[in-house]
Structures are given as C-alpha cells and as structure tokens.
Amino acid sequence: MQYEERISSYQDIQVRTSDPGKVILLLYSRLENELANAKDFIEQRNFEDKANAIILSQDIVLELTNSLNFEAGPLATNLQSLYLYVYRELNQINLKNDLESLGKVMEIVKNLHASWQEIIENNPEATVAAKRQQSRLENMTIVG
C-alpha cells in the first residue's frame, strides 16, 4: 500500500469512528489545509496542483453542505448560502488564480471553523444534535 493510500485509509477510519462534531472539525481542518495548499500552488505557478487542491476544497464544502440539518432552523439555511458562496468563489479562484479572493475565502473558513470549535467544545448538546446527521457523514470519504 502506498503512502497516500495509507493516509487516505487512516483518514477514512478517523472519519467513520469520530463523533459528528469532530467530523465537522476534521472537515474544516482539511479545508483550511487545502486552501493553504492552493495559495502556495498559485504563488508557485503550479496550476495543476492548485486545481486539485481547489477541487478537493469544493468537495469538502459540498460535504459540509450535505451534512446540514435543515430541521435545526434558519441557521442551516444561512450556512447553506455561505457554503454555496464559498463554492462559487472557489470556481472563480480556480479560473483566475485570484489570491485576494482566496484570502477572503480562507478568512471565512477560518471564522466558521473557530465558531464550530467553540460550539462543540462549549455546548455538549451540539454534539448530540450533530449525531442526528451521523448517517450522512458516515458514508463520506475524503480522498487526497
């Protein structure tokens, strides 16, 4: 088994065995890493790897969108709008190699990650509510 396959296998196991709140945090961590990679690749003019990092970032944004529980109220709808905005921005960044727009997206993701971190750490009920979404997240695999 190659190194990347072992990493992917480890990440898959980590996602499947984590509680849903931790899965959300793992997704945000991976998203932040991939956005940082995309920034580095743009600066290095390595456009193939940049495209791969942005596509993986978009996949993660879609997973976050798919994990929303719309029974929770307007927060889910607002998050969906924000996720779709980030997704569309990533399309434009991929086309134009726009570091300024990428910086804005990175800031949005950083703030969302910090907010989720605080919610999950300070509100045990959030983890209980997140368990309702477990079935959606269990089938998710991050490749990369």
**pLDDT score, position 124:** 65
Tell me, yes or no, whether 143 lies in a domain. Answer: no
**pLDDT score, position 20:** 81
Positive or negative, the CA dihedral 102, 32, 11, 131 is negative
Tell me, yes or no, whether 125 lies in a domain. Answer: yes
Number of domains within the chain: 1
Two structure tokens written together for 65: 């969108």
Q: What is the domain extent for residue 20?
A: 3-138
Tell me, yes or no, whether 113 lies in a domain. Answer: yes
* pLDDT 10s digits, 60-98: 999 999 999 999 889 999 999 999 999 999 999 999 999
Find the CATH number of the domain harbouring 109: 1.20.120.340
Tell me, yes or no, whether 144 lies in a domain. Answer: no
The CA distance from 23 to 12, in Å, is 11
C-alpha closest to that of 103 among 32, 46, 47 = 32
The CA distance from 120 to 53, in Å, is 27
In this prediction, the residues of the chain whose per-residue pLDDT falls under 70 are 1-18, 124-144
Q: What is the pTM of this model?
A: 0.77
End-to-end CA distance of the chain: 15
